[in-house]
Amino acid sequence: MDLQRDATFGPGRPAHEDRRAPEPLWRVVLGRRLRLLRTVRGDRLFDVARLAGISPQYLSEIERGIKEPSSEMIAAVAGALGTTLLDLTWQVAAELHDAAPVRIRTSIGRRGYSAGASTIGSSAGSTADLGSPPILALAA
């Protein structure tokens, strides 16, 4: 195995850990959500950009997950789309929550073998239940 090229192997990552796709980035999920809100409303990119006070090119880059805008820019775009920064943040958080991978932990302790699974992606897309992430535990 070429350790130089294997980005998933290194300190803090066990060699036996299976390799999953990385979690989506905030800016990518934010961009998808903004584009979805805009298209559902039937708004043109040019019009939303004008209302938000930014260039259409910049809004396009935000929607494609290329740019990571400031909270002020996100609030301006959210307002142009008829929503709030808080509501948009909850929607993005819910999508990240649902996309989070399940992590499996195993250990051998004094009492023998035990396994545990924790997940933060168990809701069905609802933003109402985003208190603390649910934890699933399995013990043998």
What are 43-80's pLDDT values in tens digits?
999 999 999 999 999 999 999 999 999 999 999 999 99
CA atoms within 13 A on the CB side of 13: 10
Domain with 92, as residue range(s), is 26-99
Which DSSP symbol is given to 100?
P
Phi and psi at 116, nearest 5°, equal -140, 150
Q: What is the CATH number of the domain that holds 87?
A: 1.10.260.40
Tell me the two tokens of residue 104. Answer: 């499996």
In a domain, 21, yes or no: no
Q: How many domains does the chain have?
A: 2
Q: pTM to 2 decimals? A: 0.61
